[in-house]
Amino acid sequence: MTILDELKWRGAINQQTDEAGLSDLVKEKAVGLYVGIDPTGDSMHIGHLIPFMILKRFQLAGHKPVIVIGGGTGSIGDPSGKKSERVLQTMDQVHHNEDAITAQMEHLFGQDGSFKIVNNYEWLSKMSLLDFLRDYGKLFNVNNMLAKEVVASRLEVGISFTEFTYQILQSVDFLHLYQHEDVQVQIGGADQWGNITAGIDLIHKIEGSEAKAYGLTIPLMLKADGTKFGKTAGGAVWLDPEKTSPYEFYQFWLNQDDRDVVKYLKYFTFLNKEEIDDLEQKVGTQPEKREAQRRLAQEVTSFVHGDAAVTEAENISKALFSGDVSALSASEIEQGFKNMPSVDVTTEPRNIVEWLVDVTNIESSRRQAREDINNGAIRINGDKVTDVDAVIDPASHFDGKFVIVRRGKKRYFLARVK
């Protein structure tokens, strides 16, 4: 099975500019391929991850990935997928985002020198306006540019000249990489087809019609219910652990629908066909065990955050399910209880009834607090408390940072010690 055969099996190919030509090329040599990302934010989210999974597969198959950080194009703004004009960022913000995304790429693609990161600011910033117009603008037909979906979709609401020229800049990127980095293939989302083909046309005009340059796009990722993949009630799922904790990241994958999980296993993991076929069978015969979802969560979390993050996420999940939170670390508490009701408390030890009512407002009255304690409905840091004269010492557990209260079977509260 060639890399392209594998991508087809995984459902990862939408369009190719020359299927036969690209198929021959990947059999002949280690091919240079690139995916670009504009630094519009200081972290990727899992939607950004989609084309880079394809680039990673080519890397593992022995090809030569090049990642383009769009310091130049990012200062302009890609109109693809946007219904209105982007707000331009300051160059300081662009540079900050470049550094953050570069660090994420280095983590995902490794330190073995088998890939390269470049920034298109390096060549685009050196181009004068006259060079841009004479050397490149003259080669682009406005009628053809208007017909590209990325532009045509914006004509009704309007598009600035700045964003209109984006496809020329992206084409220049492909040409530069073809000439200087031996890159012959550009990979992008379905909405990048027009930009990719424009780049191939430019290469053919300058390097000759026989120049071997190819484009490959990936399908739009939709969930089984027809909604866009990667969004949650809380917003995007980020790769930055400060924006989306590894536990939240793990839970996102663990909670996937049975109808979607096999597709995501094919797309976001490096499991082979036999392993995925086995998990697919279990989805059909033992869906209640959710083995496929658990393996998906383990694989993707490990790829993005490392094996230690998987262990932490599973520890938190088990503790929350069983109610035994005493063995969790302070870091695991921070992740697992991030979105639960919380209150700030001091280090002062207090009687449990007073603490539940006066300090934290977890209980509505002292009568209710005593009743819940006597009935065994209150657990402090995982331990059931039935003595109304017990004393809460906030500094006694979890490095003196937290007190965890569970009232009843499922209601958790987090007290942060200040």
Q: Which of 17, 40, 162, 368 is labelled catalytic?
A: 40
8 Å CB contact between 369 and 356: yes
Residue 35's identity, in one-letter code, is: V
Say which of 16, 17, 86, 407 is annotated catalytic. Answer: 86
Q: Is 232 a catalytic residue?
A: yes
CA distances from 74 to 38, 39, 307, 369 (A): 5, 6, 33, 56
Active site residue 228: yes
Q: Are 357 and 363 in contact (CB under 8 A)?
A: yes
- 48 catalytic? Reply is yes
Pairwise CA distance, residues 4 & 52, whole Å: 15
Judge whether 102 counts as a catalytic residue: no
DSSP string, 38-88: --SSSS-BHHHHHHHHHHHHHHHTT-EEEEEE-TTGGGT---TT-SSPPPP
Contact 21, 212 (CB under 8 A): yes
Q: Is 191 a catalytic residue?
A: yes
Collapsing DSSP to helix, strand or coil, 361 comes out as coil
Catalytic residue among 48, 56, 295, 406: 48
Instruction: Select from 300, 257, 295 the least CA-distant residue to 279.
Output: 295
Which one is catalytic: 15, 45, 93, 162? 45
Given the residues 15, 95, 148, 191, the one annotated as active site: 191
The one catalytic residue in 59, 89, 104, 170 is: 170
Find the catalytic residue in 134, 180, 204, 228.
228
Which residue in the list 176, 231, 294, 407 is annotated as catalytic?
231
Q: 29 catalytic, yes or no?
A: no
- CA of 229: how far to CAs of 5, 49, 219, 305, 390, in Å? 24, 12, 12, 20, 49
Write down the catalytic residue from 2, 179, 232, 347: 232
Catalytic sites, residue numbers = 40, 45, 48, 82, 86, 170, 191, 228, 231-232
